[in-house]
């Protein structure tokens, strides 16, 4: 993905504070409010899915994290898709991952107020025909939410933003790769340079 320097800076500011106004960002980046508006619009079309609120889970009573490792066995791809869709909509799940082990292995991370609530949820899922017939639980790891030291993916997203190719808004045309650095160039202006590199 290609991002301009200012697009990267706007994304990082929004990761730190999604409520930040265009005016505040313009002041921080020393560019016009209109430019910020254009940048935000483009990012909302291509990169930003939605703005959300980060809540204090402890204040809301999240006391227990459950990490459940399981496999789906003896089922067709249609059933696998149905089970995946069923699990995706479970309200207590905040991560649902498929492993790369090739054995239809999954990891589910969910949150509960108490151990009893977790046990009740697992018992209820036994009533699901698909889960009961095809799901083999390998391991359930429980830990108090106080043992979760980091919940934010902001640092990861900032690293990913930094690793995106840089798009220079004032230039257009072809793409030139030099020693694994991608530079966007105007093909006509740099044709002699491109010919030298191509030879």
Chain segment 97-123, per-residue pLDDT in tens: 999 988 889 999 999 999 999 888 888
CB 64 within 8 A of CB 143: yes
The per-residue pLDDT for range 165-187, each reduced to its tens digit, is 776 544 444 443 333 343 444 45
- How far is residue 69's CA from residue 127's CA, in Å, rounded to a whole number? 19
Q: Given this model, what pLDDT does residue 198 score?
A: 52
- With a threshold of 0.75, does the pTM exceed it? no
Task: Look up residue 113 and give its two tokens.
Answer: 């107020």
Domains of the chain: 1-54 (1.10.10.10), 64-147 (3.30.70.100)
Using an 8 Å Cβ cutoff, are 158 and 12 in contact?
Answer: yes
Write down the pLDDT at residue 181. Answer: 40
3-state secondary structure the chain: CEECHHHHHHHHHHHHCCCCCHHHHHHHHCCCHHHHHHHHHHHHHHCCCCCCCCCCCCCCCCCEEEEEEEEECCCCHHHHHHHHHHHHCCCCEEEEEECCCCCCEEEEEEEECCHHHHHHHHHHHCCCHHHHHHEEEEEEEEEEHHHCCCCCCHHHHHHHHHHCEECCCCCCCCEEEECCEEEECCCCCCHHHHHHHHC
Q: Is the pLDDT assigned to residue 147 strictly greater than 60?
A: yes
């Amino acid at each position: 993905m290609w991002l301009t320097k200012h697009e990267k800076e706007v994304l990082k500011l929004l990761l730190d504070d999604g409520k930040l106004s265009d005016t505040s960002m313009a002041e921080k980046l020393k560019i016009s409010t209109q430019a910020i508006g254009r940048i935000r619009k483009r990012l909302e079309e291509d990169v930003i899915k939605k703005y959300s609120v980060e809540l204090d889970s402890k204040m809301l009573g999240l006391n227990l994290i459950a990490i459940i490792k399981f496999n789906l066995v003896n089922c067709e791809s249609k059933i696998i898709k149905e089970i995946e869709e069923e699990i995706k909509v479970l309200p207590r799940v905040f991560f649902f991952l498929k492993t790369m082990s090739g054995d239809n292995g999954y990891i589910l991370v969910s949150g509960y107020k108490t151990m009893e609530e977790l046990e009740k949820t697992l018992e209820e899922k036994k009533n699901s025909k698909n889960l009961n017939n095809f799901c083999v639980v390998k391991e359930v790891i429980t830990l108090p939410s106080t043992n979760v030291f980091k919940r934010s993916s902001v640092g990861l997203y900032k690293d990913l933003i930094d690793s995106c190719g840089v798009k220079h808004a004032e230039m257009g045309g072809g793409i030139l790769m030099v020693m694994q650095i991608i530079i966007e160039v105007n093909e006509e202006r740099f044709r002699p340079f491109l010919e030298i590199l191509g030879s």
